[in-house]
Amino acid sequence: MRLNLAQWYAEMGQRLLNGQPLGFWQGVGYDFYQSFLDGARWKLYVQGLGTTLLITILALILGVVFGVVVAVVRTMHDQQRPGRRRNPVLGAVNTVFEAYTTIIRGTPMMVQLLIMGFVIFKTSRNTTMVAALSFGINSGAYVAEIIRGGLMSVDPGQMEAGRSLGLNYVKTMRFIVVPQAIKNILPALGNEFITLLKDTSIVTVIGGRDITKVAMLIQSKTYGGFMSLFGVAVVYLAMVMLFSWLMSRLERRLRQSDRRS
Amino acid sequence: MIDVHNLSKSFGDNLVLDGITTRIQKGEVVVIIGPSGSGKSTFLRCLNLLELPSGGSVLFDGTDITNPKTDINAIRRKMGMVFQHFNLFPNMTVERNITLAPVQTGLMKQHEADEKAMALLRRVGLADRADSYPSQLSGGQKQRIAIVRALCMDPEVLLFDEPTSALDPEMVGEVLDVMKDLARDGMTMVVVTHEMGFAREVGSRVLFMDGGKILEENEPQAFFANPREERTRSFLSKVL
């Protein structure tokens, strides 16, 4: 079967070289073969997809870690009691984190990526890791604000009730505030993850070989971007749809305590 | 049991408590009444340091709780609090709402806490709701659960912050009944409320607050029969 297809492809190529026009479906088939199968090009897409997923997952982990740390420090700072002496270390760290969020959210992702790739890590050839770090730092700032918003959205009475029972701050957060905050922030967090997944496509500007770059390379070889670019678009779309479906299932599970009667 | 001396609290320039001095004895039911904005709730919240006093001292069994070195969590385990808006934890079942604190503070093992929770739930007539979530309960049921939650810590004193103000009129009775029951058992209680009937029937002492001060205090019969202050008289004439 494969051999036949290859023969057919060679035949079609010959016809094109001879200036004979192809039929519509023949043209579609030829483009498809050329973009995905010729020279086992699909392996390039798979490799590219691997890079995309690797960058996304590493960045996601980094982003969540940065986000949680920043959000917790900033919330703790804001929840210090008026009247009591403020913790100076917390104040200093809070100022640094505030600057981090401001700078990261105030500059374009692409500029950050270019600075990381061509200034800070200009000698590094490992674009995947540079990209994962850049996207992680970027995502962290947004995740921090999402989590902070989620923690603040929980009724202050919940914290008071926990504390009035003699639970300390950390335990009240862990058992009472954070579980409620998670339910509130899950949609926003899912959204951030989707944005991150798609944004990794700009890693091409520092020479990363993600799935978008593969499509661009193949397009430049075949002089026809229809199949490769649409193909990649479909891959992104499928991943986002799968992820959205998983998130909606998770949300439904967490809504268990909202059911009535 | 609780000694309050010259307690003051201000939010910015707004002086909410202005030199409160009083003593709450073991077994007493102290009812605090007064117009809104008089500082009743703030006073109550200063007793377990949900509000940090600006001046003065609060001594619980001889320990100054306003001292930053005091382990406030240990003090709070002995002082239960019931809130106007219940503040049950919506992400947990009723049983877990009640047993979380005793287990997490190391007071009881999970099975001990479970048994105690069930016993208390039976006492307030809600044993069948142990596995419900707060969103499935009525206001009166929620508040009874909130009282059980505070009781499960075996507190020495219970603080009530307008426990019936957020309830439908029909449900006030069931919550007051639980509180009366506790009072009969000798529980020390400090109750901020607008329920004058409760104050008269159950209170061992009534404090009338206005403008951040305790204007008048007396045992309930005398308080309601012969209020001394003009301000008290005008307040009572409006609410009774």
Question: Is the pLDDT confidence value at A57 over 90?
Answer: yes
Tell me what the mean pLDDT of segment B91-103 comes to.
94
pLDDT computed for residue A221 by the predictor: 85
Beta carbons of B189 and B157 less than 8 angstroms apart: yes
Q: Which of B48, B91, B156, B158 to mutate to test the interface with A (most CBs of A within 10 A)?
A: B91
pLDDT of residue A261: 47
Q: Mean pLDDT across the stretch B57-78? A: 91
Q: State how far residue B124 is from chain A, nearest Cα, in angstroms.
A: 20
Global pTM?
0.81
ipTM above 0.85, yes or no: yes
Q: What angle do CA B24, B25, B31 make, to 5 degrees?
A: 50
Least CB-CB distance to A157: which of B74, B83, B153?
A: B83
**pLDDT value at A81 more than 60:** yes
The predicted pLDDT at position A1 comes to 55
Pair B55, B6: CB distance under 8 Å: yes
List Cβ neighbours of B224 (8 Å cut-off, separation of 6 or more): B196, B199, B200, B206, B236, B240
pLDDT above 90 for A62: yes
Whether A165 sits inside 8 A of B153 (CB atoms) is: yes
Higher per-residue confidence, A226 vs B78: B78
Contact indicator for A161, A135 with CB cutoff of 8 Å:
no
What's the mean pLDDT in B55-76? 91
**Residue-wise pLDDT tens digits, B147-187:** 999 999 999 999 999 999 999 988 999 999 999 999 999 99
- State whether B85 and A157 contact (CB < 8 Å): yes
Q: Say yes or no: A253 contacts chain B, CB-CB below 8 A.
A: no
Fill in the DSSP letter of residue A34: I
Q: What percent of chain A shows pLDDT beyond 70?
A: 96
- Mean pLDDT value of segment A126-130: 92
Q: What is the DSSP letter of A147?
A: H
Closest to A67 in 3D by CA, of A189, A246, A200, A240 = A189
Chain B environment of A166 (Cβ under 8 Å): 73-78, 101, 105, 153
Compute the average pLDDT of residues B31-50. 92
Locate the chain B residue with the closest alpha carbon to A80.
B52
Point out which residues pair with A99 in neighbouring strands.
Answer: none
